[in-house]
A and B are shown apart, each in its own frame.
Chain A
Amino acid sequence: MITRRLFAGGIDRRVLTVILLLLAAAVIVPVLHLAVPPSSPFHVPNYIVALTGKYLTYALLALALDLVWGFCGILSLGHGAFFALGGYAMGMYLMRQIGTRGVYGNPDLPDFMVFLNWKELPWYWYGFDQFWFAAIMIVLVPGALAFVFGWFAFRSRVTGVYLSIITQALTYALLLAFFRNDMGFGGNNGLTDFKDILGFNVQAPGTRAALFAASACALAFALAVTAFLTTSKFGKLMIAVRDAESRTRFIGWRPENVKLFAFVASAVMAGIAGALYVPQVGIINPGEFAPANSIEIVVWTAVGGRGTLVGPVIGALMVNGAKSWFTGVLPEFWLFALGGLFIAVTLFLPKGVVGAYDQWRRSRRDRAARKAGRPPAGEEPTPGTNDVQATPSSSVRSGPSSGGAEPQPAE
Chain B
Amino acid sequence: MTFLRVLAMILTAFCAAAVSPAQADDAALRGIIAKFAETGNYSQTRAIVAELAASGDPAVAGVLNALADGDVHVRTSDNQVFITKDAGKITRVFDPLTGEALGEEPKNLFEKVKVNNSLRRAVRDALSSLTLGSADPAKRLQAARTMFASPDAASIEALDAAIGKERDAGVKAALEAARAASVLISDLPDDEKRGAVERLGARADRETLSLLKAFAERSKGDLKAAAERAVSSIESGLAFWAAAQNVWYGVSLGSVLLLAAIGLAITFGVMGVINMAHGEMVMIGAYTTFLVQEVIRGTAPWLFDWSLAIALPLAFLAAGAVGLAIERGIIRFLYGRPLETLLATWGVSLVLQQTVRTIFGPTNREVGNPSWMSGSFQLGELAITWNRLWIVVFALAVFAALLYIFNRTAWGLQMRAVTANRRMAASMGIRTPWVDAFTFALGSGIAGIAGVALSQIDNVSPNLGQGYIIDSFMVVVFGGVGNLWGTLVGAFSLGILNKFLEPYAGAVLGKILVLVVIILFIQKRPRGLFALKGRAVEA
| A→B interface (CB under 8 Å) | 75, 149, 152-153, 155-162, 164-166, 168-170, 172-173, 176-177, 179-180, 245-246, 291, 295, 298-299, 302, 332, 335-336, 338-343, 345-347, 350, 396-402, 404-411
Contacts of B344 in A (CB 8 A): 342-343, 346-347
A156, A165, A170, A343: the one contacting B523 at CB < 8 Å is A156
Q: Quick check: A168 and B470 within 8 Å, CB to CB?
A: yes
Question: Could you pull out 29 A-B pairs where Cβ atoms are within 8 angstroms?
Answer: A152-B523, A159-B538, A161-B274, A165-B274, A168-B473, A173-B512, A177-B508, A177-B509, A246-B539, A295-B346, A298-B343, A299-B347, A332-B354, A332-B357, A336-B351, A339-B348, A342-B348, A350-B337, A396-B337, A398-B338, A400-B539, A407-B273, A407-B335, A409-B270, A409-B272, A409-B532, A410-B482, A411-B527, A411-B536
Q: List A contacts of B436 (CB < 8 A).
A: 407
Expressed in whole angstroms, the minimum distance between the Cβ of B276 and any Cβ of chain A is 8
Q: Are B470 and A161 in contact (CB under 8 A)?
A: no
Known: A166-B519, A179-B508, A246-B537. A156 touches B526 (CB 8 A): yes
Inter-chain contacts of B537 with A (CB < 8 A): 246, 401
Contact status of A397 and B336, CB under 8 A, knowing A409-B419, A409-B422? yes
Residue pair B515, A173 in contact (C-beta under 8 Å): yes
A339-B347, A339-B351 known; A176-B337 Cβ under 8 A: no
B340 touches A169 (CB 8 A): no
- Given contact pairs A335-B350, A340-B351, A409-B272, A246 touches B512 in the complex (Cβ within 8 A): no
A347 CA / B333 CA spacing, docked (Å) = 7
Do A342 and B343 contact each other (CB < 8 Å), given the known contacts A156-B524, A407-B422?
yes
Q: Are A410 and B337 within 8 A (Cβ)?
A: no
Contact of B346 with A342 in the complex, beta carbons under 8 Å: yes
Q: Which of B343, B351, B512 is close to A346, meaning CB atoms less than 8 Å apart?
A: B343
Which single residue of chain B is at the shortest CB-CB distance from A74? B339
Q: How far is the CB of A235 from chain B (nearest CB, A)?
A: 20
Contact A170 B519 (CB under 8 A): yes
When distances are taken between beta carbons in the complex, the residues of chain A under 8 Å from B338 are: 160-161, 398, 408
**How many residues does chain B have at the interface if contact means C-beta atoms less than 8 Å apart?**
63
Q: Is the interface of B mostly helix, strand, loop or mixed?
A: helix
Partner of B432, one of A153, A346, A406: A406
Also in contact, A158 and B526, with CB within 8 A (given A164-B274, A180-B508, A339-B351): yes
A165-B274, A409-B482 known; A342 vs B539 contact (CB < 8 Å): no
Q: How far is the CA of A405 from the CA of B126 in the complex (A)?
A: 86
Bound Cα distance from A120 to B366, whole angstroms: 47
- Cβ–Cβ < 8 Å partners of A298 in chain B: 343
Question: From residue B462, how far is it (CB to closest CB) to chain A in Å?
Answer: 10
User: In the bound complex, how far is the Cα of B340 from the Cα of A397, in angstroms?
Assistant: 9
> Which residues of chain B from 474 to 530 have a CB within 8 Å of any chain A CB?
474, 477, 481-482, 508-509, 511-512, 515-516, 518-520, 522-524, 526-527
Interface class of chain A by DSSP: helix
The smallest beta-carbon distance between A243 and chain B, in angstroms, is 10
B334 interfacial contact with A, CB 8 Å:
yes
Report A193 CB to chain B, min CB distance, Å.
25
Contact indicator A335/B512 (Cβ below 8 Å): no
Is there contact, CB below 8 Å, between A166 and B477?
A: yes
Query: Cβ of B526 and Cβ of A157 under 8 Å apart?
Result: yes
- Top 9 nearest A-B pairs (CB, nearest first) are A342-B347, A399-B539, A339-B350, A339-B351, A335-B354, A410-B272, A173-B515, A339-B347, A346-B344
Given A335-B350, A339-B354, A407–B269 Cβ distance below 8 Å?
Answer: no
**Are B350's CB and A342's CB within 8 A?**
yes
- Are A172 and B482 in touch, CB under 8 angstroms? no
Give CA–CA (A164, B274) in the complex, Å.
10
Q: Give Cα A400 to B539, complex, Å.
A: 7
Kindly identify which residue among B339, B527, B539 contacts A75, using a CB–CB cutoff of 8 Å: B339
By beta carbon, the residue of chain A nearest B354 is A335
| Chain A proximity of B249: nearest CB distance (Å) | 19
